[in-house]
Structure 1
Amino acid sequence: MFKGVYTALATPMAADGAVDYPSLGRLIEAQLAAGVDGLVLLGTTAETATLSAEEKNEILYFCTKQIQGRVKIIIGTGTNSTASTLQNTRDALAFKPDGVLVVTPYYNKPNPAGLIEHYKQVAALGAPVVMYHIPGRTGLKVPGEVLGRLLAEVPQIAGIKESDYDMAHVTDTAVKFGNRLSYICGNDDLFPQYLAINAAGIISAAGNVFAPAFVQIYKLFTGGQTQKAFALFAKLYPLIKACYLETNPTCVKYMLEKIGFGSQTVRLPLGEVSAENKQKIDRLLNAADASLFIH
């Protein structure tokens, strides 16, 4: 259901922290021009945790009006509370997304019964669900046995955004469940490895800046030109790693500012990228092939 390159859209902000809608509009158009298959709204990269309910609603209204059905839309609705996740999902459904992205509840570390019931209640609202599995942020690694039960009991789960770095676990999940749903890469720096185990595509934070390159890598790989795909990935790899020198999306937003898409402003508790890391990023951007960037 969800195939190809999806960018987890950042939220450009003015110096005072207000949402910069002109820059957001330009960012959307640049993503569409790059040929992405979809956009994820209100994900981690959007700094959703720092947005008010009113801001989230305004962003969804603005983005869906701008996109006008030209690509698929997935809206992030997950929190560590089932009640607030359900409310977020109800609010999102008003914008008719193609799916909702629901992170495994963080901090709480739900037991299997609670985790399954959480997703059952979200799925009952009617939208296809993409489960977001990111143990490094949530503190919850879902065992294969529990995932099997979850997928059996909640058939509305149409995809998994996988951001685990345990490739043995990732491969095991892809083999067991890859034919049941869209198994989506959530680790920009492992994109070829995921494609090699038949991942459906990627949801990318680095794609905010490098969408043209990710689209081309995907097309080359799925077209059978795997060596060319990896050669392009290898060219992009240092820039991908630079996106994560500090907590996402601080470096991504700094890069966006450098190429003319809004400011580097992030909201507390995220802070400005260090001077040392800015210098590293500047050197990489200055030496990079401009065709890798959005325009």
Structure 2
Amino acid sequence: MTAPLFKGVITALITPLRDGNVDEAAFATLIERQIAAGVDGVVPMGTTGEGASMDLDEHKHVIDLCVRLVAGRVRVIAGTGSPYTKEAIDLARHAKTVGADGALVVTPYYIRPSQAGLAAHFEAIAEAVQLPILLYNVPGRTGIDLANETVARLAKHPNIVGIKDATGDMSRVSWMHANIDGQFDLISGDDPSYLGYLAYGGVGLISVASNVAPEAMVALHKAAVSGDAAKARDWQDRLIGLHKALFLDNSPSPTKYALAKLGLCTEEVRLPLSLTADAVKPAIDRAMADAGVG
């Protein structure tokens, strides 16, 4: 079996905004912080990056900017999902052109196609663009679930190299590990259950919490993969409150609130998201303190 193409801690980057526009200076600062902390990759324009709230030009600009700022130091997996197959292809082609290492393609939200339609959607993208593709299954947001059997079918395509599974269901990673032949990167998209996901055969995490606590998330991963279960559990215990707190309001608003407290960006989000409610801010503050962030 070949080594995973994508593995380790990969940060689902927020997109910092100021007065309605992308704050490029803050974005550069956030990326440098991630690289200094030792993450293995970053994802611009995913769910946490508010990709669905950006127009096409903004979306492409943020991916291009991210690739240029990273400058090959870690992997860049561009969020290129769209419910419109033609647009998803266009975004993936752009990601390839500007030098991204891969594309993260979410299931077509709102439309809710059949499993046959889902397979055809991903296969059309994979045929159109010679770029490694990670499937992205997050049924709690999209309203559609990518079945295990459909994943196994898609895993046979040479350009489809793995999945970001944000279901939190450990039986799924176990099934995929047992039933998909060859290398297929099993990446968690659920911070709280990541330690279990690794134990069941996962190789990495696309993380929200690593925006706020990148060093801690890297330390958890390293402890786990080195076999130091006690240290990994200790990091998990320190971080579990933060994992939960960052979803106490519409994500990524709590993450932006936390980063604003650290002086790294504004709290600004793009409508229809709203700023973090005052009622949940104390819980986020406590979780940051417990995680040693601040």
Contact kept, 8 Å, 1:220 with 1:229, in 2: the verdict is: yes
Could you report, residue by residue, the CA deviation over 1:92-148 in whole angstroms, capped at 9, with x for unpaired residues? 111121110011111212123222221111112110110001111111122222322
Q: What corresponds to 2:28 in structure 1?
A: 25
| Amino acid across the alignment from 2:168 | Y
* Structure 2 unaligned blocks of 5 or more: none
Q: What corresponds to 1:93 in structure 2?
A: 96
Residue range with higher mean Cα deviation, 154-163 or 253-262: 154-163
Task: Indicate which of 244, 247, 270 corresponds to 1:267.
Answer: 270
| Amino acid across the alignment from 2:144 | L
* Structure 1 unaligned blocks of 5 or more: none
SS in 2 for 1:155: coil
SS in 2 for 1:70: coil
Greater RCO, CA 8 A, separation 6+: 1
Return the alpha-carbon distance in structure 2 between the equivalents of residues 54 and 245 of structure 1. Answer: 31
Return the alpha-carbon distance in structure 2 between the equivalents of residues 61 and 27 of structure 1. Answer: 16
| Amino acid across the alignment from 2:163 | I
Query: Is 2:132 aligned against 1:128?
Result: yes
Q: What corresponds to 2:71 in structure 1?
A: 68
Contact kept, 8 Å, 1:164 with 1:170, in 2: the verdict is: no
Could you report, residue by residue, the CA deviation over 1:57-98 in whole angstroms, capped at 9, with x for unpaired residues? 322232222111000110011111111111111221111211
Give the Å deviation of 1:272: 1.1
Contact kept, 8 Å, 2:174 with 2:201, in 1: the verdict is: no
Return the alpha-carbon distance in structure 1 between the equivalents of residues 289 and 253 of structure 2. Answer: 19
Contact kept, 8 Å, 1:178 with 1:198, in 2: the verdict is: no
Return the alpha-carbon distance in structure 2 between the equivalents of residues 208 and 91 of structure 1. Answer: 25
Task: Indicate which of 237, 253, 257 corresponds to 1:254.
Answer: 257
Q: What corresponds to 1:150 in structure 2?
A: 154
Over 3 Å counting, the alpha-carbon distance change for 1:232 and 1:54 in structure 2 is same
| Amino acid across the alignment from 2:85 | T
Contact kept, 8 Å, 2:152 with 2:176, in 1: the verdict is: no
With normalisation by structure 1, the TM-score equals 0.93
Query: Is 2:163 aligned against 1:160?
Result: yes
Give the Å deviation of 1:288: 4.3
Return the alpha-carbon distance in structure 2 between the equivalents of residues 169 and 55 of structure 1. Answer: 35
Task: Indicate which of 202, 207, 213 corresponds to 2:205.
Answer: 202
Return the alpha-carbon distance in structure 1 between the equivalents of residues 291 and 155 of structure 2. Answer: 42
Could you report, residue by residue, the CA deviation over 1:156-199 in whole angstroms, capped at 9, with x for unpaired residues? 21010001133323322233238530100100011100111121
SS in 1 for 2:63: helix
Return the alpha-carbon distance in structure 2 between the equivalents of residues 101 and 287 of structure 1. Answer: 32
Give the Å deviation of 1:238: 0.5
Return the alpha-carbon distance in structure 2 between the equivalents of residues 288 and 9 of structure 1. Answer: 19
Q: What corresponds to 2:143 in structure 1?
A: 139
Task: Indicate which of 7, 11, 23 corresponds to 2:11.
Answer: 7
Contact kept, 8 Å, 1:10 with 1:45, in 2: the verdict is: yes
Query: Is 2:91 aligned against 1:102?
Result: no
Aligned length: 289
SS in 1 for 2:136: strand
Q: Report percent identity of matched pairs.
A: 39
Return the alpha-carbon distance in structure 1 between the equivalents of residues 197 and 290 of structure 2. Answer: 28
Runs of 4+, deviation exceeding 4 Å: none
| Amino acid across the alignment from 1:3 | K
| Amino acid across the alignment from 1:272 | L
Q: What corresponds to 1:170 in structure 2?
A: 173
| Amino acid across the alignment from 1:149 | R
Return the alpha-carbon distance in structure 1 between the equivalents of residues 176 and 68 of structure 2. Answer: 36
Return the alpha-carbon distance in structure 2 between the equivalents of residues 161 and 90 of structure 1. Answer: 20
Return the alpha-carbon distance in structure 1 between the equivalents of residues 155 and 171 of structure 2. Answer: 20
